[in-house]
């Protein structure tokens, strides 16, 4: 088993060659080091999973902004020509994401004012996505901070062990 990996047996992780079986005679420092490193590894795994989720959320926001851009182009067309037809893929997108749109006239053709309503609905959707993403990023940052704290804790345990050894060796001089 590689150093720093988990075997699948609860509590059986190898850290710097030290046995982690709780039944063996591990020092308190070794147990604390193992605890901090396991915590760091767990938090890093969670952060990795959530990073992928954050990328998905950002793509969803980008897709919504692209759809809004298309709506703005159709609004301009309606301003020039009087009306512009909402494409089926745009209606499908709105339905899939529970975004309302203007149904005046019970048709897919919209004038400039109706496109303004559609764009407002899309703006509301984008704002909601952005707010949810902001909250998600705060939670992700918290996970990263906990991982960093665990690494710092492990480092502190190692430093305390080194300091203790220096003190012990200084006592023999």
pLDDT score of 168: 76
pLDDT score of 21: 55
The two structure tokens encoding residue 116: 């303004």
Answer whether residue 9 is part of any domain.
Answer: no
| Contacts for 86 with CB less than 8 Å, ≥ 6 apart | 74, 101, 108, 109, 110, 118
* Regions in the chain scoring below 50 on pLDDT: 1-19
pLDDT score of 163: 76
Answer whether residue 23 is part of any domain.
Answer: no
Answer whether residue 144 is part of any domain.
Answer: yes
Answer whether residue 145 is part of any domain.
Answer: yes
Domain assignment of residue 78, given as a range:
58-151
Answer whether residue 76 is part of any domain.
Answer: yes
Instruction: State pLDDT tens for residues 92-128.
Output: 999 999 999 998 888 899 999 999 999 999 999 999 9
Total number of domains in the chain: 1
Answer whether residue 91 is part of any domain.
Answer: yes
Answer whether residue 28 is part of any domain.
Answer: no
- Gap between the Cα atoms of 5 and 29, Å rounded: 19
SS3 content of the chain, % helix, strand, coil (to 5): 75, 5, 25
HSE, CB side, 13 Å, CA atoms: give it for residue 97: 21
- Gap between the Cα atoms of 54 and 133, Å rounded: 7
Model pTM above 0.85: no
Answer whether residue 159 is part of any domain.
Answer: no
pLDDT score of 126: 97
């Amino acid at each position: 088993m590689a150093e720093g990996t988990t075997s699948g047996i609860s509590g059986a992780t190898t850290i710097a060659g030290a046995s982690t079986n709780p039944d063996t005679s591990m020092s308190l420092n070794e147990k604390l080091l193992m605890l901090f490193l396991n915590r760091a590894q767990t938090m890093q795994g969670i952060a990795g999973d959530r990073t992928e989720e954050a990328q998905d959320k950002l793509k969803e926001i980008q897709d919504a902004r692209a759809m809004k851009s298309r709506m703005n182009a159709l609004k301009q067309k309606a301003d020039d020509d009087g009306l512009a037809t909402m494409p089926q893929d745009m209606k499908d997108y709105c339905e899939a994401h529970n975004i309302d749109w203007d149904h005046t006239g019970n048709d897919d053709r919209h004038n400039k004012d109706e496109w303004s309503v559609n764009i407002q609905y899309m703006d509301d959707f984008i704002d909601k996505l952005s707010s949810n993403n902001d909250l998600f990023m705060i939670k992700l940052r918290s996970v990263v901070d906990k991982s960093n704290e665990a690494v710092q804790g492990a480092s502190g345990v190692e430093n305390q062990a080194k300091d203790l050894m220096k003190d012990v060796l200084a006592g023999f001089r």
